[in-house]
Structure 1
Amino acid sequence: MTTAPATPAVPLADLDTDALRAAHARFSASYDELKAAGLRLDLTRGKPSADQLDLSNDLLHLPDGEYRDAAGTDLRNYGGAVGLPELRAIFAEALVVPPAQLLALGNASLTVMHDTIVQALLHGVPGGEGPWAGRPISFLAPVPGYDRHFSICERYGIRLIPVPLNDDGPDVEAVAALLAADDSIKGMWCVPVYSNPSGAVYSEEVVRALVSLPAADDFRLFWDNAYAVHHLTDERPQPIDVLGLAAEAGNPDRPLVFASTSKVTFPGAGVAFVGGSQANVDWLVRNMSVQSIGPDKLNQLRHVQLLRDGQGLAAHMEKHRAILAPKFVAVSEAFETRLAPHGGGHWTAPKGGYFVSLDVLDGCARRAVQLAAEAGIAVTPAGATFPHGDDPRDANIRIAPTFPPLDELRTALDGLCTAILLAEAETLLAGRDHSEG
């Protein structure tokens, strides 16, 4: 099923037309074999594998005879709107948020982000000039980025403005220019550690700039620290105190920090967190008091008993790393073996998180994903990492290697590479036929 590269291998774009036609014929034959194999493989979403979920199975019989927190509060009853203090203390350390300014809530941080935007639309945010609704509202969207962030804005008619995402975070000059020119910008999506999908890690210099740039008082950084503890190597980024830096810059209300245990324990039965300045936290609690009399505190107690403390959380995440790291190695090996000899793409090698960002030849991503799907390999739709699914280069593909078993992952990656090479050969030939015609 694997197509052997030319000897010596030459980037497809550098082949003469006859050699490119020959390469296309080889890729087509390999693709026909791939389709005949009848595969049914899925690389679409960044879900934990069954082996990873098994790491948290103790949650199924916890809490162990307990239903009170350290203060003696009966967790079976109403109340406790801000969440279990013991659990907030564990994650406050990892997220660099004071425990008193961190809320532990339901199981989905996406829900909290969604509701925060809706509350801002209805009521405005601290320091603002009233509700966001009823006037043009825009958000900055570092790209490539997370499609579910974009979907929230798209759902409520919030204009998304793409900004380039570099290895050390968003392009600060581009952000500054946009903020200076457009007072409709009220927010910016940020995944500061192991960004989805590139794995970029924001530098302290970039973070200092983002919290310091001139902007409206109700401008908010939606700081989705989803992968703060999801390391794949021994090289760990130094946690950045975004709240402290924002306060130092005179903009304490700017960051809203989100996270969850979705890829720590059970995505379907975890805990979400949100933190910020005291003014932001008071605003959040006041809004949530109308929605709920308190989160699932027994589930939070289960998490406390499973993880214990910061060291216990780190040890738990090392077990995840042991399962995940070989899968990310498999991605690099597949692309290095199959794509690199043909100049077939450029990809990230993240030191943590859940994704790899792959850029193929411009104009080829959608066709490659289509070919892969027709061969039984489901991949995140091309363009999903850009607002409204519109990748202007049609080049980016998000790779989600976490869910399949390692042998299935290798098979899927090999098949995807075949689809990519065929799509690129098709595109190059079509361009030459057009120019020669």
Structure 2
Amino acid sequence: MSPTSELQAELESASGAYEEFASRGLKLDITRGKPASEQLDLSVDLLSAVTGDDVMTPSGVDTRNYGGLDGIVELRELFSPLLKVPSDQLLAGGNASLTLMAQALTFALMHGTVGDSRPWGQGPHKLICPVPGYDRHFTLAESLGFELLSIPMDSEGPVVAEAQRLAADESVKGMWLVPMYSNPTGITITEERARELAAMPAAAPDFTLLWDNAYGLHHLREQHPEVLDILSICAEAGHPERPWIFASTSKITHAGAGVSFFGAGPETSGWIRANLSKISIGPDKVNQLRHLRFFSDAAGVEEHMRQHAKIIAPKFDAVLDTLERELGGRDLAQWTEPDGGYFITLTTLEGTADRIVKLAAEAGVKLTPAGATHPYGLDPLNNIIRIAPTMPTVGDVELAAQGLAACVKLASYEKLLAG
């Protein structure tokens, strides 16, 4: 049989399998990294952790009242060793770290930073974006007027040579980074790569690492990397104010009612306080007290995350096993096998991602739009698809992976036959 005939036969088989799957009339959604209800149930006791007659922190702060811009000290002390940020350089805020990112960037645009008093917004302002990356980072920065500059990621993190080339431009103010279990690849930056970024020359005197440690505690396996002490790494490199560290409990407790964190060097911590004091009289300290009582200590957080892993690790395994069974050895796609976080990245043949997403939608499997992992929604190779396995049941996520594999086969053989 000729190669063309073999491809035609594969296409016919893939088309039949796709039609069979589509005929089931399923409605499956693996678009966003939301916790499942079973995960949210792990934190049900949070809702009763503070009662009407017991609202005082251990240090005697009435959480119902104004004040406490930094957040309650005991919660900052609890998360300090987990995030590798000294408690006096760590702020605890409301439920969304994305809001803290927006506030910090807006302050820099309007007022400058501790490294340079010139407001970023007075001239061109750009951010480096390792890709594939987090769509909300890109959307936020674009909405604030930043020009977004893509650089590639490898298995150790962002490619430093590309970042340094771009950072030679003074209008390049910083770089996004999800250092642990990156969204969407699951890559964890190595300490060596982090040290290179910490020491990297940059034309902007206040070049900033937007260090979003969103998944630093979200391990799937018992053996896992440790959170890097990026503040110490940058201080040793002579750039103590370079990292702005963000984190939250949004996927740890209740996604809509968590606590966010901002950590930075000593001067930047003062800078964010001074700016926040103009727009806030303090965060929701009652909710912070709930979290303090619910966890008690850092070990309580770690045990809680082990319970999360028991729920979601089988879902990741179901997707990975299905992809290997259906696509392994076919040279049609590759996928990441993360040890934590919330996503799997599927890399398909060039030019097929949008077709796969469209086929999947028509067959009842909703995926994140092709291109969402890149600035401006433009994936130049059109071959990256993000998979979010956490919210569906194990059975549903396995079905979704089966449907996705059928779409990959159909779109790939169409592409190969078209030449």
TM-score (norm 2): 0.98
1:413 corresponds to which residue? 401
Q: How many angstroms does 1:344 deviate by?
A: 2.1
How far off is 1:63 after superposition? 1.1
**1:192 paired residue number:** 179
Post-superposition Cα deviations, 1:359-385, rounded to whole Å, max 9, x if no partner, equal: 011111110000000111100111111
Amino acid at match of 2:153: L
Q: Map of 1:61-100 to 2, 5 A cutoff?
A: 61-64=48-51, 65-100=53-88
Matches of 2:353 and 2:139 in 1, distance apart?
A: 21
Assess if the C-alpha contact under 8 Å between 2:128 and 2:175 holds in 1: yes
Correspondence for 1:135 among 101, 118, 123: 123
Alignment partner of 2:350: what SS?
coil
* CA displacement at 1:387 relative to structure 2: 0.7
Separation in structure 1 between the aligned mates of residue 261 and residue 277 of structure 2, nearest angstrom = 16
Alpha-carbon shift at residue 32 of structure 1 (Å): 1.4
In structure 2, the residue corresponding to 1:397 is in which secondary structure? strand
- Where 2:150 maps in the other structure, the secondary structure is strand
Q: How does 1:39-188 map to 2 (within 5 A)?
A: 39-64=26-51, 65-180=53-168, 182-188=169-175
249, 253, 256: which one pairs with 1:261?
A: 249
Equivalent residue number for residue 317 of structure 1: 305
Give 1:157 deviation, angstroms. Answer: 2.1
Write the distance in 2 (CA, Å) between the matches of 1:33 and 1:331.
Answer: 20
Q: What residue in structure 2 maps to residue 351 of structure 1?
A: 339
Aligned residue for 1:78, secondary structure, equals coil
* Secondary structure, counterpart of 2:286 in structure 1: helix
- CA drift of 1:178 comes to 1.8
Q: In the alignment, what sits opposite 2:198?
A: 211
- The one-letter code sitting in structure 1 at the alignment partner of 2:143 is R
Give the corresponding residue for 2:264. Answer: 276
Extract unaligned runs of 5+ from structure 2: none
Q: What is the letter of the counterpart of residue 305 of structure 1? A: R
Q: Secondary structure at the match of 1:380?
A: coil
Between the aligned partners of 1:239 and 1:117, the Cα distance in structure 2 is 24
Q: By how many angstroms is 1:15 displaced?
A: 7.5
Residue 416 of structure 2 aligns to which amino acid in structure 1?
L
Aligned to 2:188: 201
> In the TM superposition, what are the counterparts of 1:338-417 in structure 2 within 5 Å?
338-417=326-405
In 2, the alpha carbon distance for the partners of 1:42 and 1:309 equals 35
The structural deviation recorded for 1:134 is 2.6
- Identify the range of structure 1 (261-270 vs 164-173) with the bigger mean alpha-carbon deviation: 164-173
Secondary structure of 2:91's aligned partner: strand
- 2:276 matched residue in structure 1: 288
Indicate the residue corresponding to 1:24 in structure 2.
11
- SS of 2:121's partner is coil
- Please give the per-residue CA displacement for 1:176-195, whole angstroms capped at 9, x wherever unaligned: 22222x22110100111111
Deviation, structure 1 residue 39: 0.9
Give 3-state SS (helix, strand or coil) of 1:342's partner.
Answer: coil
Q: Secondary structure at the match of 1:103?
A: strand
Letter in 2 for 1:203: T
1: CA distance, partners of 2:222 / 2:2: 41
CA distance in structure 2 between the aligned counterparts of 1:358 and 1:34, rounded to whole angstroms = 20
Supply the RMSD in Å over aligned alpha carbons. 1.2
> Paired residue for 1:3?
none
2:111, 2:117 within 8 Å by CA — same for their partners in 1?
no
Deviations 1:155-211, CA, capped at 9 Å, x for gaps: 12211111111111111111122222x221101001111111111111111111111
SS at match of 1:358: strand
Runs of at least 5 residues in structure 1 that lack an aligned partner in the other structure: 1-13, 432-437
Q: How far apart, in 1, do the equivalents of 2:223 and 2:395 lie?
A: 27
Does structure 1 conserve the Cα–Cα contact (< 8 Å) formed by 2:346 and 2:384? yes
* Percent identity over paired residues: 49
* Aligned length in residues: 417
Distance 1:253 1:311 in 2: 29
Instruction: Report the AA paired with residue 206 of structure 1.
Output: R
| Structure 1 residue 269, shift from structure 2 partner | 0.3
Task: Spell out, residue by residue over 1:1-35, the C-alpha distance to the aligned partner (whole angstroms, 9 max, x if none).
Answer: xxxxxxxxxxxxx9811111111111111211222
Aligned amino acid, residue 59 of structure 2: A
Measure, in 2, the Cα distance between the counterparts of 1:324 and 1:316.
Answer: 13
Q: What secondary structure is seen at the aligned counterpart in 2 of 1:349?
A: coil
* Aligned with 2:210 (options 208, 222, 227): 222
AA aligned opposite 1:31: Y
Indicate if the aligned counterparts of 2:127 and 2:175 stay in contact, CA closer than 8 A. Answer: yes
Cα-to-partner distance string for 1:295-330 (whole Å, 9 max, x where unaligned): 000100000111111100000000000001111111
What is the DSSP-based 3-state SS (H/G/I as helix, E as strand, rest coil) of the residue aligned with 2:287? helix
Partner letter of residue 14 of structure 2? F
